[in-house]
Amino acid sequence: MINKLVANADIAINDIRDRSTLMLGGFGLCGIPENCITALLKSGVKGLTCISNNAGVDDFGIGLLLQTRQVVKMISSYVGENAEFERQLLSGELEVELLPQGTLAERIRAGGAGIPGFYTPAGVGTEVGAGKEVRNFNGKDYLLESWLRADFSLVKAWKGDTTGNLIYKGTARNFNPMMAAAGKITIAEVEELVPAGSLDPNQVHTPGIYVQRIFQGSNYEKRIEQYTTLD
């Protein structure tokens, strides 16, 4: 099997250039590629377009890349919980394309799956539909949406093997599998890297074909946004 192991995040993101389009997995701070984000901060790469469901919080996740002004455009569905983001958006410093979450997920899925366009009911009659083709199927209106692809996809998994097979945990799966398939180069960081043959093929969530580079991540903070308990 093909070995895709690289040493660390810095090496993995080494060829990400200014003005690249990136996809970053995660929902809120759950399942985000923490190591790759840190490496992007260190690299100082600028002018990034980031496709990610959320934009992190002020001082964690993609929020850190907003603080350093490395991001010029965000494509997201929900950007609450981030004051700096809202400020840059309202001031016009940051270009933002907001999409329905399901449309975002499906456009990314379409990018990986070679479907250049599809119809969805989400957003008909709203700002989201402006300029998009509306088409009626079986008496209901739908919008034509196009695929999304990225120069680099940065995904985070629980376990991964050297051939790039990935298994996610809990709700940290979210956008990661579709993004893994939609990146020209997909970089996976994992909590536990295992040799090929250690993962049950029947339990693999992302087949290795989608992953070009994989590394063992370190120092995961896994910050919780809404720590909520019964106690």
Partner 1 sequence: MALDKIGIAKRIAREIQTGWYINLGIGIPTLVANYIPEGIEVVLQSENGLLGIGPFPSKNQVDPDLINAGKQTVTMLNGSSLFNSAESFGMIRGGHVDLTILGAMEVSEHGDIANWKIPGKMVKGMGGAMDLVASADNIIVAMQHVSRSGVSKLLKKCTLPITGLRCVKKVVTDLAVLEVDPEIGFRLLERAPGVTVDEIVQATEGRLTVEGEVPEMTF
Applying the rule CB under 8 A, the residues between 86 and 115 that interact with a copy of itself are 106, 110, 113-115
Binding mask 199-218 for a copy of itself (x = CB under 8 A): ---xx---------------
Cβ-proximal residues to 111 (8 Å cutoff; 6+ apart), any chain:
147, 148, 149, 150, 178, 181, 182
Distance CA 75, CA 182 (A): 15
Of residues 126 and 218, the one with the C-beta less far from partner 1:
126
CA distances from 180 to 103, 133, 137, 162, 217 (A): 17, 28, 31, 15, 17
Q: Which does 117 bind (CB under 5 to 8 A by kind): partner 1, a copy of itself, none?
A: a copy of itself
Segment interacting with a copy of itself, rule: CB under 8 A, options 22-30, 65-73, 135-143, 214-222: 135-143
Distance CA 201, CA 56 (A): 32
Segment interacting with a copy of itself, rule: CB under 8 A, options 18-26, 70-78, 140-148, 214-222: 140-148
131 near a copy of itself, rule: CB under 8 A: no
Task: Using the structure block, give the residue that is written with the tokens 């995660």.
Answer: 26
- Report the site for partner 1 in 129-188 (rule: CB under 8 A): 158, 161-163, 165, 169-178, 181
Least distance (Å) between residue 136 CB and partner 1 = 14
Residue 119, burial from CB neighbour count under 10 angstroms (0-12, 13-18, 19+): middle
- Report the site for partner 1 in 56-95 (rule: CB under 8 A): 76-81, 86, 89-90
The answer to whether the beta carbons of residues 179 and 153 sit under 8 Å apart is yes
- Report the site for a copy of itself in 154-183 (rule: CB under 8 A): 167-170
For residue 18, give both structure tokens.
Answer: 């200014």
Of residues 9 and 29, the one with the C-beta less far from partner 1:
29
Query: Which of 43, 60, 84, 121 touches a copy of itself by CB under 8 A?
Result: 121
223 near partner 1, rule: CB under 8 A: yes
Of residues 9 and 55, the one with the C-beta less far from partner 1:
55
What's at 40, amino acid-wise?
A: L
Of residues 45 and 110, the one with the C-beta less far from partner 1:
110
Check the CA dihedral 217-192-106-224 and report its sign. negative
Distance CA 94, CA 89 (A): 5
Residues within the interface to a copy of itself (CB under 8 A)? 106, 110, 113-121, 135, 137-138, 140, 142, 146, 167-170, 202-203
